[in-house]
């Protein structure tokens, strides 16, 4: 043992270099996977556009209402009367009433054109809540066409621009995935590592709890718990409560995986060495065991985030999760529940491909990470 | 084997008790009990007997006694088949569930069949034809399918049907059979309608199982016993199906019990809500929306019960197929 100590100490010195090499290897391998790179870019784009800079990309503010209620999407036009236009534009809309259906609807009015400009000045906002600005990525210029409007995805029943609302809605939906998964990791990794390290009673207890949680079908359990949130709570409190519920139900799977890894890691030389130096249990667990499980945690988490986003979507869509005035993808879908809504404002369903895009992004990224984080295996 | 079965069943029973307790807590969770609301509502309607009725219900559910004895009372009633009353529907929960029970089961069984009938052959094909165009197409499809949750797909389907067709493909029955008594013709009609919601509700499960089947079979196909079977001159078909697939399918049985089945229950519940099918799922959602907690809590326990039974069956099937597990 006396000779083993300096050796493992030397190894410990080297681990930094080795682990750097490991991440370099991971990056090389990840970069070769086109699909995974695409997924990664997609996810970064989603979070950048929706979560960070939604105000800039959307032509309006999330609660800007207009007189155009349930207006259909305006097509972006490049030709007017057969002639190509350098600047794309949208046609105006005129309201008509169908007496037999007793329904107002909009028809395209080709006599009115609203050219689309980039970087137009519009409503004031604070970018990411900090930087005041009034520049929007695109929109109609208020000097050129003062009563102009652009609704690329149509409007909802209060006359709010759906394009804007989808971008804003992504903020809450995507963040619930991120925050929820962060809580899940905190709970799952901690309990998993504790359970694997201490064994015995602790292990037994944690194992039984995870088995118990996995006995439930998760979405119905979310729904039942979410339904119990007092309706008089503020929207933000509901939001955080939902995130906590999601994490509390979902941590079991992660804990189980981490425990399995810890069981195999705890006999490794570097862990034994750390122990023989007199490191506390706490230090061994959080400095040596959890970093050893990082790659697994990353993969599992990336593949679990879509589930979180979907859970929020499903819950809010059923009216059990987030509620207006909050805007999330699920809340947007809530407004199209029912055949009548689907019949008369089907463009509200544009939210669905947007959600699916985010899920695919995460799946591609997660698959690629799984292959890349095991760079010594496979090839 | 017998001792394994007994242990396994005992374990499921313990789980069931714990699950039922959670179901009960969920019933209790919402602030302000339903009866208080009911009382004000009935009095608002000028119902004179309201107070008597509420007092009767209060006594029946023991709303004035502490939590634990109340749970015991609820559980005893539960075992006897008295699941409480749906306050919103003003009918016993048992009736509500019984009415929708068989169609729910039919949908679940159809979904599971769908998963297996689609996933296993495709998975086997993909593995035996690795990296061919066919494999790549199926892999792509299963990847896409994994990212499209059933209820969103159902919403898109609903959109398609509403906008472009007036075909009566939604629901579980054609119009003429909807309220008709059971007959052979109605059964055939059910089968004609069942495949669509079953397919949509199980899409995530199917896609997942294709991937797992492919991966497992690829692992198995590389093993020595497969090589030796080939070396003995067995037909390629026999080697694949009798030797390799039999080995590769074992983990799938566990996955069916622990991952695919919950997915199907959830998927079906959400899809059925979109398509408004006469199954338990939509009733559960409505119950939660109306805070009709006896119905909601019982349904949750009921869903979990299906899962526990599914897991139990999967484990027993696996023990039957794989002797190593029995001896553990």
**Which of A215, A220, A359 lies nearest to residue B284, judging by beta carbons?**
A220
User: Do A72 and A85 touch, CB atoms closer than 8 A?
Assistant: no
Same domain, B20 and B155: no
User: Does B146 reside within a domain?
Assistant: yes
Interface contact flag, A212 B148, Cβ < 8 Å: no
Taking only the tens place, the pLDDT of each residue in A185-194 is 999 999 999 9
* φ/ψ (deg, to 5) at A23: -70, -30
Strand partners, A97: A104
Same domain, B215 and B279: yes
Q: How far is B184 from chain A (nearest CA, A)?
A: 31
Between residues B283 and B59, the one the model is more confident about: B283
Q: How many CA atoms lie within 13 A of A14 on its CB side?
A: 8
A224 touches chain B (CB under 8 A): yes
**Euclidean distance between CA atoms B102 and B122, whole angstroms:** 30
**Euclidean distance between CA atoms B190 and A134, whole angstroms:** 58
pLDDT of amino acid A39: 92
pLDDT of amino acid B48: 62
**Which of A215, A219, A225 lies nearest to residue B266, judging by beta carbons?**
A219
> How much is the pTM?
0.84
pLDDT of amino acid A4: 42
pLDDT of amino acid A236: 85
**Euclidean distance between CA atoms B60 and A96, whole angstroms:** 58
A336 touches chain B (CB under 8 A): yes
User: Do A342 and A264 touch, CB atoms closer than 8 A?
Assistant: no
Taking only the tens place, the pLDDT of each residue in B16-71 is 888 888 888 877 776 555 666 666 666 666 666 667 767 776 666 666 667 777 78
Same domain, B133 and B62: no
Same domain, B52 and B124: no
Same domain, B75 and B101: no
Strands lying side by side in the sheet with A131-140: A77-80, A83-98, A103-127, A131-140
Residues within 8 A of B (CB atoms), A 283-312 only: 306, 310
Kindly list the residues from chain A whose CB atom is less than 8 angstroms away from the CB atom of residue B30: 227-228, 230
Tell me: ipTM over 0.90.
no
Find tokens 């999760």 and name the residue: A321
pLDDT of amino acid A165: 92
Same domain, B104 and B68: no
CB atoms within 10 A of CB B129: 13
Find tokens 């207009």 and name the residue: A66
User: Does B90 reside within a domain?
Assistant: no
Interface contact flag, B300 A220, Cβ < 8 Å: yes
- For residue B145, give the chain A residue with the closest CA: A360
Size of interface A-B (CB pairs under 8 A): 104
Find tokens 């309220």 and name the residue: B179
Both ends of chain A: CA-CA distance in Å?
37
Rounded mean pLDDT, B109-135: 88
- For residue A310, give the chain B residue with the closest CA: B149
Rama region for A82: left / alpha / beta (φ>0; ψ in -120 to 50; rest):
left
> What is the tally of structural domains in chain B?
2
pLDDT of amino acid A44: 94
Same domain, B43 and B181: no
pLDDT of amino acid A281: 85
- For residue B308, give the chain A residue with the closest CA: A215
Interface contact flag, A227 B265, Cβ < 8 Å: no
C-alpha distances in angstroms, A41 versus A180, A304, A326, A357, B311? 22, 18, 27, 12, 39
Q: Which of B294, B281, B280, B275 is nearest to B93 (CA)?
A: B294
Residue count (chain A):
379
Same domain, B158 and B307: yes
Tokens of B322: 């794989």
Same domain, B35 and B180: no
- Cis ω on the peptide bond leading into residue A325 (within 30° of 0)? yes
- For residue A212, give the chain B residue with the closest CA: B15
User: Does B88 reside within a domain?
Assistant: no
Interface contact flag, A356 B148, Cβ < 8 Å: yes
Tokens of B178: 């909807």
Tokens of A268: 């490794």
CATH of the domain at B217: 1.10.3720.10
Same domain, B113 and B234: yes
User: Do B120 and B213 touch, CB atoms closer than 8 A?
Assistant: yes
User: Does B87 reside within a domain?
Assistant: no
Residue of B11, B159, B201, B218 for testing the chain A interface, max A β-carbons within 10 Å: B159
Residue count (chain B):
328
**Which of B149, B266, B304 lies nearest to residue A215, judging by beta carbons?**
B304
pLDDT of amino acid A5: 43
Interface contact flag, A363 B143, Cβ < 8 Å: yes
Same domain, B242 and B307: yes
User: Does B249 reside within a domain?
Assistant: yes
Number of H helices, E strands in chain B: 17, 2
Rounded mean pLDDT, B140-162: 86
Low-confidence ranges of chain A (pLDDT < 70): 1-20, 375-379
Tokens of A139: 């929109």
- For residue B16, give the chain A residue with the closest CA: A215
User: Does B89 reside within a domain?
Assistant: no
Question: Exposure string (b/e) for A152-176, b if CB count within 10 Å is 16 or more?
Answer: bbbbbeebbbbbbbbbbbbbbbbbb
pLDDT of amino acid A174: 92
Kindly list the residues from chain A whose CB atom is less than 8 angstroms away from the CB atom of residue B156: 349, 352
pLDDT of amino acid A9: 47
SS3 A82: coil
The residue among B79, B112, B147 that closes a domain is B79
Q: What is the DSSP letter of A155?
A: B
The residue among B13, B44, B79 that closes a domain is B79
Give CA torsion, residues B102, B104, B105, B107, to 10 deg.
120
pLDDT of amino acid B248: 84
Strand partners, A125: A133
pLDDT of amino acid B326: 67
pLDDT of amino acid A41: 94
Interface contact flag, B151 A314, Cβ < 8 Å: yes
**Euclidean distance between CA atoms B314 and B316, whole angstroms:** 5
Domain that includes residue B61, residue range: 2-79
Tokens of A115: 């050219």
Same domain, B310 and B205: yes
Q: How far is B56 from chain A (nearest CA, A)?
A: 25
C-alpha distances in angstroms, B29 versus B25, B85, B157? 6, 17, 36
User: Do B300 and B29 touch, CB atoms closer than 8 A?
Assistant: no
The residue among B79, B103, B133 that closes a domain is B79
pLDDT of amino acid A7: 47
CB atoms within 10 A of CB A90: 22
- For residue B291, give the chain A residue with the closest CA: A227
pLDDT of amino acid A283: 87
């Amino acid at each position: 043992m006396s000779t083993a100590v300096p050796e493992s100490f030397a190894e410990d010195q080297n681990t930094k270099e080795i682990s750097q090499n490991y991440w370099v290897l991971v990056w090389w391998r990840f970069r070769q996977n086109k699909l995974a790179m695409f997924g990664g870019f997609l996810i970064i784009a989603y979070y950048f556009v929706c979560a960070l800079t939604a105000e800039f990309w959307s032509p309006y503010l999330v609660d800007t209402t207009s007189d155009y209620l349930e207006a259909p999407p305006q097509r972006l036009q490049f030709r007017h009367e057969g002639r190509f236009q350098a600047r794309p534009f949208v046609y105006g809309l005129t309201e008509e009433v169908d007496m037999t259906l007793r329904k107002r609807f909009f028809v395209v009015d080709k006599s009115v054109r609203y050219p689309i400009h980039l970087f137009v000045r519009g409503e004031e906002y604070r970018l990411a809540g900090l930087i005041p600005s009034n520049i929007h990525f695109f929109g109609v210029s208020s000097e050129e066409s003062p009563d102009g409007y652009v609704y690329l995805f149509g409007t909802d029943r209060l006359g709010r621009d759906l394009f804007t609302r989808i971008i804003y809605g992504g903020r809450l939906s995507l963040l619930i995935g991120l925050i929820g998964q962060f809580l899940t990791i905190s709970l799952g990794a901690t309990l998993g590592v504790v359970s694997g390290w201490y064994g015995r009673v602790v292990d037994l207890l944690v194992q039984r709890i995870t088995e118990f949680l996995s006995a439930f079908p998760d979405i119905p359990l979310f729904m039942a718990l979410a339904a119990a949130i007092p309706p008089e709570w503020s929207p933000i409190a509901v939001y955080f409560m939902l995130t906590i519920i999601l994490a509390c139900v979902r941590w079991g799977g992660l804990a189980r995986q981490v425990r399995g890894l810890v069981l195999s890691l705890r006999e490794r030389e570097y862990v034994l060495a750390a122990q023989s130096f007199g490191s506390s249990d706490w230090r061994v667990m959080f400095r040596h065991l959890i970093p050893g499980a990082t790659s697994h945690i990353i993969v599992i988490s990336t593949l679990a985030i879509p589930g979180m986003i979907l859970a929020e979507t499903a819950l809010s869509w059923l009216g059990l999760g987030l509620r207006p005035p909050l805007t999330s993808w699920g809340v947007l879908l809530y407004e199209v529940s029912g055949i009548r809504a689907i019949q008369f404002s089907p463009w509200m369903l544009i939210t669905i491909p947007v959600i699916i895009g985010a899920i695919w992004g995460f799946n591609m990224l997660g698959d690629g990470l799984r292959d890349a984080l095991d760079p010594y295996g496979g090839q | 084997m017998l001792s394994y079965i007994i242990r396994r069943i005992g374990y499921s029973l313990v789980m069931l008790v714990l699950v039922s307790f959670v179901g009960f807590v969920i019933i209790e969770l919402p602030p302000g009990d339903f009866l208080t609301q009911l009382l004000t509502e009935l009095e608002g309607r000028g119902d004179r007997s309201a107070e008597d009725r509420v007092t009767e219900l209060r006594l029946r559910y023991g709303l004035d006694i502490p939590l634990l004895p109340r749970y015991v009372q609820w559980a005893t009633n539960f075992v006897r088949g008295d699941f409480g009353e749906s306050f919103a529907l003003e009918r016993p929960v048992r009736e509500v569930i019984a009415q929708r029970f068989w169609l729910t089961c039919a949908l679940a069984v159809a979904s599971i069949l769908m998963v297996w009938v689609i996933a296993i052959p495709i998975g086997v094909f993909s593995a035996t034809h690795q990296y061919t165009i066919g494999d790549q197409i199926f892999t792509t499809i299963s990847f896409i399918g994994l990212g499209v949750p059933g209820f969103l797909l159902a919403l898109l389907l609903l959109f398609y049907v509403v906008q472009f067709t007036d075909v009566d493909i939604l629901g579980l029955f054609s119009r003429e059979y909807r309220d008709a008594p059971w007959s052979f013709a109605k059964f055939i009609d059910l089968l004609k309608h069942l495949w669509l919601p079953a397919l949509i509700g199980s899409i995530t499960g199917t896609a997942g199982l294709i991937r797992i089947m492919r991966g497992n079979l690829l692992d198995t196909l590389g093993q020595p016993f497969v090589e030796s079977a080939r070396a003995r001159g067995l037909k390629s078909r026999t080697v694949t199906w009798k030797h390799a697939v039999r080995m590769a399918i074992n983990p799938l049985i566990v996955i069916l019990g622990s991952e695919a089945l919950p997915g199907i229950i959830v998927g079906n519940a959400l899809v059925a809500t979109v398509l408004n099918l006469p199954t338990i799922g939509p009733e559960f959602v409505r119950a939660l929306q109306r805070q009709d907690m006896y119905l909601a809590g019982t349904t949750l326990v009921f869903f979990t019960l299906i899962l526990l039974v599914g897991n139990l069956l999967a484990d027993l099937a696996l023990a039957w197929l794989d002797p190593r597990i029995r001896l553990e």
